[in-house]
Amino acid sequence: MKKHISLFICLMHITLWSLYAQDEESKVIVYSARVIDAETKEEVDSKVKYESLPYGSKIGVFSGSTFTFNLEEGNDYSLIIRADGYATHTSTIKNEESVDGKMEQTIELVPNGVNRLIRLDKLIFALGKADISAESYEELNQIVTMLNDSETMTIQLEGHTDFRGNEKQNFKLSEKRVEAVKDYLVRQGIDKKRIQTKAFGGAQPLSREGDAASRAANRRVEVRILTN
């Protein structure tokens, strides 16, 4: 009788462990990405490093233009991608963006040749404002990483506003915006001598459409690489 009870308990343990293991497997998210040139859209051989946040208990490295790894549910991951001739890409992979246990991304690397212009698409200013929101920090930190990777690089921040409104006020506002970006980069340890600024006001709009999205896109700062 005791043998039967022991066998029953053992089978129960195995069953419970099997259910636990299946539950653990269901919490794994498969992340895959493809790295391409932002202009030509061709694949770029890169060096990739990922690290779980906040403590870096999971770390991995890859080489190539495509890669796949598993994310543990509940953990975000930092991602760093480097390739010769390109600005370093840094971003955070967020678990909640997965769909049905999967996440797929195409990551565009920006060439960092001299006179190359990098548009900060995620740095969007409110109407009449020069404040930088916390949501913009990740993109600005990519510029910090690019400058740290190439200590001889110098850049020019070019500020733009929407073309509507008073011309002089638009010019002053674009000056404030590039200075706000410069101040942020300097606070991250970049020598201010490596950063020039230039204001254009509303003279170079991306669009002359009157909808809110077009006007928001005109309120921007771009990064021009002067020396590398």
Does one domain contain both 131 and 207? yes
**Domain holding 140: CATH number?**
3.30.1330.60
CA–CA gap between residue 217 and residue 222 (Å, rounded): 11
| Shared-domain flag, residues 104 and 132 | no
Joined together, the tokens standing for residue 69 give 């790894």
8-state DSSP, 111: B
Same structural domain, 139 and 58: no
Residue 34 domain flag: yes
Domain annotation covers residue 50: yes
Q: Which domain holds residue 46?
A: 29-109
- Dihedral sign computed on CA atoms, order 119, 120, 122, 124: negative
Q: Of 211, 206, 207, whose CA–CA distance to 221 is shortest?
A: 206
Question: Alpha-carbon distance 146 to 141, whole Å?
Answer: 9
Domain end among 109, 126, 157: 109
Q: 160 and 136, same structural domain?
A: yes
- Do residues 63 and 79 share a domain? yes
Tokens (6 digits) for 168 = 């002089």
- Distance of alpha carbon 61 from the chain centroid: 18
Q: Do 83 and 128 fall into the same domain?
A: no
CATH number of the domain residue 72 falls in: 2.60.40.10
pLDDT of the chain along its 228 residues, tens only? 544 445 444 444 444 444 444 444 447 889 999 999 988 999 999 999 999 988 878 899 999 999 999 988 888 999 999 998 888 899 999 888 888 888 999 999 988 888 888 989 888 777 788 888 888 898 999 999 999 998 899 999 999 988 888 999 999 999 999 999 999 999 999 999 999 999 999 999 888 887 888 888 888 899 999 998
Specify the number of domains making up the chain: 2
Contacts of 69 by beta carbon, 8 Å cutoff, 6+ apart: 31, 50, 60, 62
Q: What is the DSSP letter of 204?
A: S
